[in-house]
Amino acid sequence: MAMIKKQRLAKLKDKAKELLSRTLDQHINLAVTGLSRSGKTAFITSFVNQLINEGHGSQLSFFDPVHHGNFIAAKRVAQKNLSVPRFDYDLAISALTNEKPSWPEPTHGISELRLAIRYQPTTSLLKYGSDMATLTVDITDYPGEWLLDLPMLKQTYEQWSEQTNALLLTEPRHQYAKVFLAKVAQLDPFAPADDETLANLSKEYTELLHLFRHQLGLSVIQPGRFILPAELAGAPILEFFPFPNIHAIDGNDYQNASDDSFIGMLRARFIEYKQSVVKKFYQQHFVRFDRQIVLADCLTPLNACSENSGPESFADLQLAIDMILESYSYGKSGLLARLFSPKIDKLLFAATKADHVTGEQHAPMISLLNQLIYQSKHKLNYDAIEMKTLAIASVKSTQSGKILHQGQQVSVIQGNRLSVNDNRCIADKVTLFPGAVPDKLPEQQYWQSSAFNFINFAPPAGLTQHQALPHIRMDQVLQFLLADKMI
């Protein structure tokens, strides 16, 4: 009898433990944001890789749960949202660990991944109830281009046209946009719209956006879906463009223009695009986020070796970051706060690809990024959000060291050159001094001296799939984003 009682009691205790740990299990929805090519996919791959391969060569000494021995294990589990494709971690990691390693492909659509991290609670209530707790982390990947549509939400078609027109009238865009602008100027805004003209001009505008992005390396590309339409390719909702000289049209006439006229149809499509593409995307994915990392590649626009560099590229990056953060201003009046009220409590800014420079350049990288975000940062609500800036490399692809040059010790980095044609590693080891990163927004003089040179490196050779990737400060990223939920 006593035995049965004891067994029952033990069962009850187990049940209570299970219930307690279930209620206290933690959850984080992590937003990984950043312009296209800023390193989001590489970051997510490394983030997952570091956690699931903990103990297999991982270097996570600044991540307290690992440092204090409370980390048990992490694994990928089925995501909750079944209608969103799964983030293809296996594909990304096999590209990185191939015999000839390559970087993951640019992202064309949205995908998600869920991680379950098991740990031993130390100080929290959980300690008394359970030996093990789980932190679930949901991570979303999407093309960086889509992010730039966010500021459009608060604009009318007139405002957007004016802003975009101003960009098209400024170099380096203007020389390429002249023909398009002249054609649109021929249109009578109140004439009945015909689909073919709209389709042709939209195609021309889209081609311009591709050229700005890929040939000129510019960041402000709107609407973002035009160059990465995913499932919307060919849909009429992607057939509109800014109308030049819109301020010259009489305000009343504009308001009264019928939806069948050119200007009316452009306006209607713009509104529909905002409503059913942009807003839908943010409502479905952004509203749930509670922690956020903003990735920024500040090095490529500075790099004299890159065709996407120069003062225009850098100024455009600055404008793009400003546009994003403006809408993200986390204060009560922020656009996102009004629309979706996300509950972000931690925000990390990371300057990516820090392995392109030597270690002593990381401090200037951080101050440069701080300057880039400063204008917007002061609008963010400091009280409600904890913020941090870091210089990171998701996949460290270089070694740093010193060489003797003309009797002086010079810091250098060494890595494998990336083949331009197929994005793969070619066995061409290079050693170089990449130069100094400016710690302030560069002035005209900087561009004349072209002080900064690096090449694109291939991922490091000789890695295996079940081994932790080499990195710079990914452990500090994990510490900032996850550790407080694992105590």
Ligand X SMILES: Nc1nc2c(ncn2[C@@H]2O[C@H](COP(=O)(O)OP(=O)(O)OP(=O)(O)O)[C@@H](O)[C@H]2O)c(=O)[nH]1
The helix (run of H) or strand (run of E) holding residue 351 is strand 346-351
- The region of 33-41, 204-212, 373-381, 447-455 touching Mg ion under the rule CB under 5 A is 33-41
**Which CB sits closer to ligand X, 37 or 291?**
37
- CB 160 → Mg ion: shortest distance, Å? 26
Helix, strand counts (H, E) of the chain: 17, 10
- CB 138 → Mg ion: shortest distance, Å? 17
- CB 303 → ligand X: shortest distance, Å? 12
- CB 324 → ligand X: shortest distance, Å? 13
Q: In this structure, which amino acid lies at residue 67? A: H
The listed partner (ligand X, Mg ion, none) that binds 37, CB under 5 to 8 Å by sort, is ligand X
- CB 403 → ligand X: shortest distance, Å? 20
The listed partner (Mg ion, ligand X, none) that binds 355, CB under 5 to 8 Å by sort, is ligand X
Tell me the per-residue interface mask from 39 to 78 with Mg ion, x by CB under 5 A, - otherwise: -xx-------------------------------------
The listed partner (Mg ion, ligand X, none) that binds 42, CB under 5 to 8 Å by sort, is ligand X
The helix (run of H) or strand (run of E) holding residue 293 is strand 291-296
Burial grade of 1 (CB within 10 A; 0-12, 13-18, 19 or more): exposed
Residues that bind ligand X (CB under 6 A): 34, 36-42, 103-104, 106-107, 143-144, 352-353, 355-356, 393-395, 397, 456-457
The helix (run of H) or strand (run of E) holding residue 265 is helix 262-273
**Which CB sits closer to Mg ion, 21 or 45?**
45
The β-bridge relationship of strands 26-34 and 133-141 is parallel
**Which CB sits closer to Mg ion, 85 or 192?**
85
Give the CB-side neighbour count of residue 56, counting CA atoms within 13 A.
14
Among residues 359, 367, 347, the alpha carbon closest in space to that of 298 is found at 367
The listed partner (Mg ion, ligand X, none) that binds 34, CB under 5 to 8 Å by sort, is ligand X
Residue matched to tokens 């942009």:
278
Q: Which residues of 160-196 are buried (b: 16+ CB within 10 A; e: fewer)?
A: bbbbbbebbeeebbeebbeebbeebeebebbeebeee
- CB 11 → ligand X: shortest distance, Å? 49
The listed partner (ligand X, Mg ion, none) that binds 101, CB under 5 to 8 Å by sort, is none
Residue matched to tokens 């994915």:
285
Instruction: Write the DSSP string, 1-13.
Output: -HHHHHHHHHHHH
Other Cβ atoms within 10 Å of 69 Cβ, number: 11
Burial grade of 417 (CB within 10 A; 0-12, 13-18, 19 or more): middle
- CB 8 → ligand X: shortest distance, Å? 54
**Which CB sits closer to ligand X, 124 or 399?**
399
**Which CB sits closer to ligand X, 138 or 145?**
145
Is residue 161 a contact residue for Mg ion (CB under 5 A)? no
| Residues in binding contact with Mg ion, number by CB under 5 A | 3
**Which CB sits closer to ligand X, 144 or 442?**
144
- CB 141 → Mg ion: shortest distance, Å? 6
Residues 98-127 that bind Mg ion (CB under 5 A): 107
The listed partner (ligand X, Mg ion, none) that binds 393, CB under 5 to 8 Å by sort, is ligand X
**Which CB sits closer to Mg ion, 205 or 289?**
289
Token pair recorded at residue 415: 């890595």
Residue 438 CB partners (closer than 8 Å, separation 6+):
302, 364, 368, 446, 451, 452
Q: Which residues bind Mg ion (CB under 5 A)?
A: 40-41, 107
